[in-house]
Structure 1
Amino acid sequence: MRADVIRFDLPDPGDVSALAGAIDAGRVDPGRIVAIIGKTHGNGLVNDYTRGYLTQSLLKLLAARTGEAEAGLQARIPMVFSGGVEGVLSPHFIVFAVHDDEDAPTEPGLAVATAMTPPLGPEDLGRQRQIDLTAAAVEEAMARADIHSPDDVHFVQVKGPAFAQADLAGAADGLASDDPGKLMGFCRAASAIGVARALGEVPAAEANEAAVLRDFSVRSNVASCSAGLEVSCNEVIVIGMAPGWSGPLAIAHAPMADALDVAAVHHALAGVGLAAAPQLAAGDAARLRAVFVKGEAARSGLIRGRGHTMLNDGDIDQQRHIRAALGAVVAATLGETQLFVSGGAEHQGPAGGGLVAVIAERT
């Protein structure tokens, strides 16, 4: 098997002409697409409809090019979109395609596989059922990718559901929160703990709902979890390295201690054979296929002992603050602005920090 990763410009959520052109030119086989991840122009909060707009645009394109019904495509292709391209960040989307390869691999290659949980209701978010189902989906995706060791998993993207206030008003009792925004946080947190359980990053007994948004020592260093109105289950994408996969691509990751942890970015780059001194050379930056960054505004209100105001700003949501800050730090190191930078890192990487993962062409 061989995984291909292609990044496309996104002028607006309705403009997927770059992918259409690649399909028409024969550079992308639409029938081989297994997942799409991207950053859209919206605010990344509950009322961000740009994510669903891009999903709709891509489904219509792929249905037209493959002849497959949109419902069927949506059922098998995770489309994980995060709103918010604050500061220097640029909207884009990344297509993952998997091909048969007759050449025997000489070394482990980039491996990608997906799985989806059953539908989740508002009452499931932040609860044990979401943790357990997410863990099972991660294990299923690992098996599909033929990744046998959790150490070979470098990035797990999860997109779970969110609900508007009207949906919560008619929901069953026992919600983790009746605030739509806070419920998104519970969704992300439980999803991350599910990933940690599946990969053995924490003992199974500790991967329980009692830890959700309480015990931040229970975490995954490879999970990137989001939530949105446009999905109804947890969509899971597992990316790693495996012996049965060929091709020129590799992935590496590193946990980030805080928003200023440039050393973690350098560590992830080194894992794919790149070095920034202090910034990637243009030729090396051209080898980047995808960069994923997850971070949060430290709950302590401090970054390296100095106070920050991101959690107290009544005008700008703290997720928008941290995306802009992290985006600037990582973009300056890489010389690249098409970065998947996502806020809301509950149980994803060290508390107050996050993680970075890089996919690049090997030399």
Structure 2
Amino acid sequence: MRILHLEDSPLDAELVREWLIGVGLSIEMDWAANEREFTAFLQRGVYDLILADYRLPGFDAPAALVIAKKLCQDTPFIAVTGAVGEEEAVEFLKKGATDYVLKGRLSKLPSVIERALNEFKERRARRQAEESLRRLNRELQAISHCNQILVRAVDEPTLLNAICRIVCEEAGYCMAWVGYAEQNEAKSLLAVAKAGIEAGYLQQASYTWADDTPLGQNPCGVAIRTGETICIDDLTDDVWAMAPWREAALQRGYRSCIALPLKDEHTCTFGVLGIYSTEAHAFTLEERRLMADLVGDLAFGIVALRTRAERMAGEHRIEHLAFYDPLTDLPNRRLLMDRLHQTMSASARSLLMGALLFIDLDNFKLLNDTCGHMVTPFHAWAVTNLWSCWWT
């Protein structure tokens, strides 16, 4: 246990240290005799407990408490003093001190320290639970918004950019991107959407999903190859020291990241959602589970949009074949009759006259017999194109 003791008397400081060691506490104690030393120790190190004499020359425990609250807000602060009035003691505790012990009753100090440390652990555990709950609620809200976007999405780029934006703005992460695995020789990752603080990271990192290159050992590349969620809790760990993309990530403030594979209906991985945080260990097990659910919904939405786009393209091709010649792509008789009917109906309603221009090509039968049925349609297309240019 690391203790910082503020005491102007070396004898009293040594007495407290020996008393704590005598009751079996394993301690490492730094001694500060004035405000300057006290502040310097707090700025340089982290302490489990602060002990302070109530009155020192030009300094006192309440003033030290103010400094401690600024530099190490949650560290227990106990006054060990010769004498203090009841009103002063109450006011001292109201300002945030943990407790106080008279120097004439040091036998109480071990139990006071134990109680203070237990209260500190309880407060920290409660605060961590509250923070975890707040983050989970924030992510649930973000996922709910993402699901609304999925329902209303009309095209892939809009959907992916909206999801990345929500992950950053509402879930609180610093960067998110979606990459598709390209089936080329380099097995590169194509960034199709991104949001947050990217600042050229994806280009500098040169991500790939190839297994035979160091650049392919990035979390997104591994997620695509394995189909598993890959999470890095702390990019400053030595295990990542040789990663070629690590320096670029740290330069932009990334401390942890998670890569979640996007899979189609056949469970084949076709892309990845990468999320980055400025905090180490940002992705708890519960957050990973929620993110995995989000990615499953996102992948389903992407596949649904692609299926709908293919169906609409097929319907368009069928409609086109019904009204256009497959060789020349010129309107056929069916389209002519349809447009003629529409024009005649409009003319009847408006009482306006119209005209139908009929063009005959001389010697077209001779050209057809001489050059063949596969050539003459293109002559007809050339003539039609020429007339279109003249008409416009």
Indicate the TM-score class for this superposition, using the shorter chain for normalisation: under 0.3
Q: Which has the larger radius of gyration?
A: 2
Higher helix share: 2
Give the structure with the higher percent strand.
1
- Which structure carries more relative contact order (alpha carbon 8 Å, separation 6+)? 1
